Homo-oligomer: A and B are copies of this chain.
Amino acid sequence: MGYGAYIIDLDGTMYRGDEPIEFASEFIEALRAKHVPYLFITNNSSKTQAQVSDKLQQMNIHATPEHVFTSSMATAKYIAQMKQNARCFVIGEEGLYDALEREGHIITDDTCDFVVVGIDRDINYEKLSIACRLVREGAVFISTNADVAIPTERGLEPGNGALTSVITVSTGQKPIFIGKPESIIMNQGLEKLGSHREATLVVGDNYQTDILAGINAGIDTLMVFTGVTPYTDYPAFEKKPTFHIQNLSEWLHAI
As a 0/1 sequence over residues 124 to 161 of chain A, the CB contacts with chain B under 8 angstroms (1 = contact) are: 11001100110010000000000011000011111101
> Which of the four size classes fits the interface of chain A?
20 to 34
Q: Which residue of B lies closest to A126 (CB)?
A: B121
Question: Which residue among A124, A167, A169 has the maximum number of chain B CB atoms within 10 Å of its CB?
Answer: A169
Contact B125 A158 (CB under 8 A): yes
- Known contacts A123-B128, A132-B162; 13 additional CB pairs below 8 A are A122-B124, A122-B125, A128-B158, A128-B163, A129-B154, A133-B154, A133-B155, A133-B157, A148-B170, A148-B172, A158-B167, A162-B165, A165-B165
Q: Closest 8 interchain pairs by CB? A: A162-B170, A165-B165, A162-B169, A158-B170, A165-B169, A162-B166, A121-B125, A129-B157
A-B contacts, 23 listed (Cβ < 8 Å): A122-B124, A122-B125, A123-B124, A123-B128, A125-B157, A125-B158, A128-B162, A129-B157, A129-B158, A132-B158, A133-B155, A133-B156, A133-B157, A136-B155, A148-B169, A148-B172, A156-B170, A159-B170, A161-B169, A162-B169, A165-B165, A165-B169, A166-B166
